[in-house]
Each structure stands twice: as C-alpha cells, then as structure tokens.
Chains A and B, each alone.
Chain A
Amino acid sequence: MPLLQINHLSHFFGGLKAVDDFTLTLEEGELIGLIGPNGAGKTTVFNLVTGVYKATEGEIVYRGQDLVGVPPHKITGLGISRTFQTIRLWDQMSVLDNMRVAHHGQVDYGLGGALLRLPGYRRAEAAITDHSMNLLKLFDFDRFAEIKAGNLPYGERRRLEIVRAMATRPKLLLLDEPAAGMNPGEIDSLMEFIHWVREEFDLTIWLIEHQMRLVMNICERLKVIDFGKTIAEGPPEKVRNDPSVLEAYLGEQAEVL
C-alpha cells in the first residue's frame, strides 16, 4: 500500500481551477519534488493535503484513510507535517515554546490538569519538554532555546520550521520552498540537511522548490504542474529535457530563440 495516494484531486477558488485532476502515488521512503512556475497550484496541493483547504473533488488517501474534510490538526496527528513558503513561526514565543506547542496534539491533560498542575500534567509537560530539547540538541538549536523565534537569523528560522515540524513526529514531511531566499552555499548545506533528516527520522519527503539545483540533485522523482494541470513527471533527467516543461518555464521555444 502506498503511503499517500492522491486521486483526481481538483480544487476551485470560485471559478478558478487552482488544481486540476491531480494524481500522485507516494511510496514510503521516497523523496519527490513538485515543481512548476509561480501560481501553478503547488502550494494549493499542499494545503489540500494538510487540510487547510477542503478539496472540491477527488480523494487523498493516507495509509488507507481519506483525508478530505479531516481538520488540519487531526491530519498532523496522523503523521503528516509541513513547513510553509513564507516562514510561519510563532515569532513572539521562544524557540523552545515553538517546539512545545508543536506537541499540542499529544497533550493528554485537560484544562483542569493545566490549572491545577496535577501529576498527569507534570508528567506530560516533562515528556514534551524532554522531546523538544532532544530535538533541539539533535539539530544544534539548544543554544537558542530561550530566544524568541522572531529574533533568529533568516536561515535559522527556515531550519527551525523544519525542526518544529519534526516535533509532531511525522512520517511524511511536506517542505514548501525550503530554499527560498538562500544563496548557493546555503542551498548546499540545506541539501545535506534534508538528506540527513530523511535518514535520521526515516521520513518520506515531498517538497516544492524553485531552485532547480536543489530539486535536480536530491529528488528521486519530479512532478511538474502548470495552471493546476500535471504537465510532466518522472526522474529529474527526463523532466529536465521535457519540451512542455521548458515551455512552461521559459515560454514557447520560438519566443526564447
């Protein structure tokens, strides 16, 4: 059984068809990329999978369960986590608190437990803080634990978003333009970082990216969409030379020349 099976997924914003008949099979342990020009509908696909939007048509089957209509926090609880195109950290909170809140789905005490600081609360909080600190140590972030997330440098903020996503204990990690705003040197270390995270946590990774260097180097399989429609898919070498992909990115050949 594939980890994620998306069948004929379509989504409309009013009359605009943002995603059109999107189909994808994602096997466990794969690292695949979703590319396409700006406005192609890539982020919308992520938003549909993570439950931010409810798909107009089609189904998203994750480990045999249809995700359409399931609220985002439940989808995260099932093991899908993500980062965002524009960084969405909780800036006024400390790095550690960012990590702790990502454990919200694992909180098993209620309001009463929190107010009265019952033993169950203390146990749960200790476990959450431990897990958070361990992750921070693993990613070499522990020295920043008490710093407000908003005060970290840009690159660290991008990385922290991935670390925070890991706190929800995902099986499938969706990365939305992880290399946005990075220079070539930073992209190299990001590629290593993604490889390492994948090995370390035994993850399946699905990423959206514009930086061809990153996509071509680390993705095992690519899917290209434009105006919501799939225009090509396959291994990077094949996609790189696909005429319809070149056309989507660069315009028709005649115009380029």
Chain B
Amino acid sequence: MSLTPETLTIGALVPYTIAALLYGAMWLTSSKTLRLSASIMLGAGLSVNLLQLVIRAIEANQPPFKTLFESLVLLAACIAVVYLFVELVYRARILGLPAAVGCALTMLYALLRQDKEAVNLPPALQSGWFIPHVVVYFFGYAALFVAFCASFVYLLRPKPIHLRRPDLIAGEHIDLESLLDGAVRFGFALLTTGLLMGAVWAKSAWGDYWVWDPKETWSLVTWLLFAAYLHLHYLGGWRGRRLAVLVLVGFAAVMFTYLGMHLLPTAEQSAHVYQ
C-alpha cells in the first residue's frame, strides 16, 4: 500500500478513533492499562498525522496549509499536541475522550473533503508570515477547542454521571476551572498573536493592516468574545456555568470563523475562504 493522502488520513483516523474508544472506556472500567494505552494510541495518531504534513510539504514543496483538507489535517495535529501537553501538565485524562473524538472527527471530515493533490500557492501567500500566521492560529484554535472540551465536561458534570474510578480520569487534583482558564489564556494569547501577525502581513503584502474582510472581522469577533471572557472572569468574578457557556459561545464563533465563511454574503471576494 502506497502512502497516498487517503492512506495517511485513514492511518491517522484509525488510531485517533481507537484512542477515543480507550479514553471513553476509562469512564466505565477501572483498568489501569487503559490509561497508558489511550495516550499511546493518541500519540500514534499524532505521529501519522505529523508524517502526513511533512510528506505533503515535501511533495508539494510548499507549506501544506492552503486547502480546507490541509488545514483540517493541521488542526487535528494541533489538537492532539495541545491535549497531550495538557494531559502531561495537569496529569489528567478527563478531557481525553472529547479531545480524541475531536481529532477523529476532524480527520473524518478531512477524509471526506480530501483534495487529491496540493493546490498552487498564489503570490500573496508566498510570504515568511504564512507559516507562523497559520500555525499560531491553529494552535490557538486547538487550545480553545480544549477549553471547549473542558466547558463541555464541566457543564455535564453536575448531572449524575457514574464514574467507576473518577481518580483515573481526573488525575490527582484536577481543577477543571483552572484547566479551562489556562486553555483560554493560552488560546487568547495565540489569537492575539495570529491576528496582529495577519495585520502586519497584510500591510507588507497590500499596504493595509485591516480591510474588514469578513474573516478578519470574524477573527476580531472571536478575539472580542474571549476578551470579554477575560474581563468577566478576572474583573467581574464570573465563575462556573456562566463562564463555561461563554466559552462555548466563543468557540462556536471560532468554528464559524474557520468553516463558516462561505455562508456569508460578504465573503465572495475574500482571500480567506477555503475552497
């Protein structure tokens, strides 16, 4: 079997799916071996995923971030990296199930939106800013996805979920709120960086920092929403459910910024809409 884009996508999708099953199974059984195998499986998926990015970059001789498919592959890798980092730092696997499901669904969508070959880069994207702008943004998206997972789990938690071994999932002293907040702060810093890099890049490419292109405007919207989060949390004292709901709204805006631009009537001429 040759390493076609399709093979590689499936090659990452399968371990991600297995990882999701293993992380899910943790909620039901008390097997200790599950703990490690789930993380290893997610790591395996990430390895294939990264390999796919590298192969594509070499084959096309350009950064593989142009098409929707390429961006989905990148996003899945970013989610896996950020989640594994969180697992390592917080010593908790409580977000393992939603994160692995996120990776698997992203790869599944990538499989459906497969483009058979790389698309040539137009002159405007051939810039030193292209890679940092996109990579920073996608790590930001991934961090906010982790925050979304944390909110999701947080909102479901008060309902009676039967946990055999809560400690196995939650780790030692996991504080979901602080995890959520950490992910948002990380994501917000990256959103800010990506946004400002984009403005500087636009200036050097077209002579304008900002032209109210719909994608620009929507990335401003997501930035404003998470800025509101910071004000409400750190100054307004918002905690708990309200804050989690705000994160869900903020993440919905992120997703719309990423995937919904073709739905906007104003985005026909935009350089940002994925084909």
Q: Do A and B bind each other?
A: no
